[in-house]
A and B are shown apart, each in its own frame.
Chain A
Amino acid sequence: METILKKAQLTRDDIDYVMATGYGRRNFDPAHGELSELSCHAKGVLFKNPLVRTIIDIGGQDAKVLRINDKGIMENFMMNDKCAAGTGRFLDVMANILQMPVNELEKRAELAEKPAKISSTCTVFAESEVISQLASGETVENVIAGICNSVASRVAGLAKRVGIKEEVFMSGGVAQNGGVRKALEKELKVPIKWSETSQMMGALGAAISAYEQVKKRGVLNE
C-alpha cells in the first residue's frame, strides 16, 4: 500500500475510502469495505461500456461469466468448478511447458494452420497432451492454438449456461490473449469487446464503489 501511495504521490490522509476486492479481500486491514471481484468487474466494465450485458472474466484463480440486466445490475453469474482448466493459471502452466512468456502465446497462435486437440477437462491431462503432441511432431503454433481453444471451450460452456446477451465484454488478464478471445468469439458466435485495460476492470470497479460509498456519506476530500 505504501509503495502505491508513494508512486501516486499521495498519503493515507488523501484517501477517504479503501475498497478491497479479490481473494484475500477480507484480510486486508487498511480497507474500509470489501466487495467481491464479481461486482467490481461489473461496475468497472459498465462504467467504461454501459451497453455490456455479458462479462467474461478469466483471471488467474478462476473464470466467471456475469449477466447484467438492463438497469446495469449484475443479476446472475457462473464460475468455474474445482479445476484450473479454463483459467489463466492453465495458460501459465502451458506457457511454462513451452518455455515462452505467456504474452507470446497470442502471436504464435495466429500462425497456426490447424489447431491441435487439447483436453479442456484437466490441466494435468492437457499438459501431458501438449508434451506428447510436440513429441509426435505437431507444430508449436498448432499446439498453442489448441491450448487457446481449450480455454475458450471450457469458458464458453459457462457462458452458455448463464445465457449470452450482447454486448459481450472480456475482462481479466486473459483478455489480453487474442488467441483465446478469437476462439471464444468462434465458440459463442458473438463479437467480444475488450480493452488494453481489461485487467484493471476489477480495480476500477472497486474504486468506483469506494467513491460511491464516500458520496453516500457526503464527505469527500478536496
Chain B
Amino acid sequence: MSNEVKKKSPPDPNSAKFKLGKIATDAYVDAQAAKDRGEMIGWCSSNFPVEIPETLGLAVCYPENQAAGIAARGGGERLCNISEDDGYSNDICAYARISLAYAKTKDAPEQNMPAPDFLLCCNNICNCMIKWYENLAKDLDIPMIIIDIPFNPDYEVSDAQVAYVKAQFLEAIKQLEELTGKKWTEEKFQEVMEYSGRTSRAWLAATSEAKHTPSPFNGFDLLNHMAVMVTARGKKEAAEAMEVLHKEYLENVETGNSTFRAEEKHRIMFEGIACWPYLRATSTGLKSRGINMVTTIYADAFGFIYDDFDGMVKAYCNVPNAMNLENARDKRVKLIKANHVEGLLVHTNRSCKLWSGFMAEMSRQISAECEIPHVAFDGDQADPRNFSEAQYETRVQGLTEIMESKKGGC
C-alpha cells in the first residue's frame, strides 16, 4: 500500500478565492499594523456604514466576523462558557458572548485581533448589539459611537427616516474626527463610494449567475465571500476581487463547471446565518443529496448601490433585519424565482431571535407564493450546543424527498 500523501495544490494567487481570502485576513493584519504605528483602531458592528471609517482612513475589526471564525474553528463553546460564568444568559447572541469573553481574556488562538480604542455600533442588525457594545465600552473603558437605525415598519424608507439617520452619520463623522484626528474629505468619500459601488455591482452580478442550471457555484461560497462584502466593500482590492469572482462564474457557465462538486439534483435557498460550528455537517448533508444552496438573502443584502451621501444613508436603512416583513419576503421571492429554487431551508438560529422570529411567518408566505416546501432546523451561528446533526439530517432528507416527489421521483 502506498504511503503517498496527496498534496494539496497551492492556491492560485490570481483566483478570486485567494484574493478574497487575503482581503479578509489582511483586515486583521492591517488593523494590527495601524495599532503598532500608534494609530487608534476600532471594533465595528457588521452593518455600521463601513464607508465612514474607510473614508477617514481608520482601521477597524469586526467582532462578528471574529466570533464566526472562532466558532468555525471550534472555540465557540469555550468562549461562550466564559461569558456565561460571568453571568451572561445563554439565551443571548453567541457572537456577543464570544466577543465579551474575548474582550476579557484578550486571547483566542482561533482568531486574535487587536484591542480597540473606540467602538462603532449600529443597531440596524439587532438591538442586542447595543447592550453588547455598551458592555464592551464599559469593560474596556473606551468610547462608543452609536448610530440608531430603527426597524422600519413601512415598505419604503421615508425621507424623515433618512433625515434622522443622516444627522447621526454626520455626528459620528465629527466624533471620529475629534477622537482620532483624522479628517473626512469629499474626494476620499467619492473614491470609497465608487469602489463600494463597483464591489456591490460585481457581487450582485456574480451571485445572479445562479440563474443558470447547474449553478456555476456552490452557495456556501457566498457565506465565506460575504465577509469581504461586509467589511471591505469600499476598498479597491475588494472591487477587483469581486470582479474576478464574477468572471470566474461566467467562465464556469461557459465551460459547464461549478464550484459545487457534485451533480446538482436540487436547488434550495438557505435562510439565516451559517451554523459555523457545524459548517461541514450542514454542507455535507446537502451535498451528499445533490442539493446546491444556490442563493441566500446575502446575495441581495450586501449589494449597496447608491450615488451620494443620502443614498448611502438610505441603503443602510434598508438592510434585511431592519426592513418590514413584506419587503423582506418580496426580496426573497425575487431571488427564489430568479434562481429556480425548489425548496427553502431555514436555520432557526437560537442566537438570532429577530431573524429567526420573523422567519416562521415569512417562510409560510414564501412557500405559498412560490409553491415550494420549507423546512426549519434548530441550530446556532456560534454556540455548538444548540444543534443536533441527526435532527438536521431528518429534516433535510424530508425536504429532499418532497422535492424529488414533486419532480415525479421517489
Contacts and interface: CB of A to CB of B under 8 A. Distances in A.
Given A81-B348, A81-B378, A82-B378, A35 B401 contact: yes
B235 interface: no
Interface in A20-62: 23-24, 26, 34-39, 62
B388 A38 contact: no
A82 B402 contact: no
Interface string B385-410: 01010110111011001100110001
Contact of A36 (B364, B388, B401): B401
Nearest to A24: B390
Interface stretch (A69-77, A114-122, A171-179): A69-77
Nearest to A212: B410
Contacts of A39: 398, 401, 405, 410
A79 B386 contact: no
Contacts of A81: 348, 378
B137 to A, nearest CB: 33
B405 A74 contact: yes
B360 interface: yes
B303 interface: no
A161 interface: yes
Nearest to A40: B401
A62 B367 CA distance: 23
A76 B394 contact: no
Nearest to B404: A39
A27 to B, nearest CB: 10
Contact of B390 (A23, A38, A161): A23
B393 A77 contact: no
Given A77-B375, A81-B378, A26 B393 contact: yes
B373 interface: yes
B374 interface: yes
B402 A37 contact: no
Contacts of B390: 23-24
Contacts of A161: 360, 364
Contacts of A37: 394
A213 B410 CA distance: 9
A159 to B, nearest CB: 14
Nearest to B387: A82
Given A77-B375, A82-B388, A23 B405 contact: no
A82 B373 CA distance: 21
Given A74-B405, A75-B402, A161-B364, A36 B397 contact: yes
Contact of B402 (A23, A24, A34, A74): A74
A43 to B, nearest CB: 10
Given A62-B391, A76-B367, A161-B360, A38 B401 contact: yes
Contacts of B375: 77
B394 A23 contact: yes
A76 B373 contact: yes
Contacts of B395: 79
Given A23-B390, A36-B397, A81-B348, A76 B378 contact: no
A29 B410 CA distance: 21
B253 to A, nearest CB: 32
A34 B410 CA distance: 11
Contacts of A76: 367, 373-374, 402
A87 B373 CA distance: 24
Contacts of A75: 373, 402, 406
Nearest to B379: A82
7 contacts: A23-B390, A39-B401, A39-B405, A73-B402, A74-B398, A81-B378, A82-B388
**8 tightest A-B contacts by CB?**
A38-B398, A36-B397, A82-B378, A39-B401, A73-B405, A36-B398, A76-B373, A23-B390
Given A74-B401, A78-B376, A79-B391, 9 more contacts: A23-B390, A23-B394, A24-B390, A39-B410, A73-B405, A75-B406, A79-B376, A81-B378, A82-B350
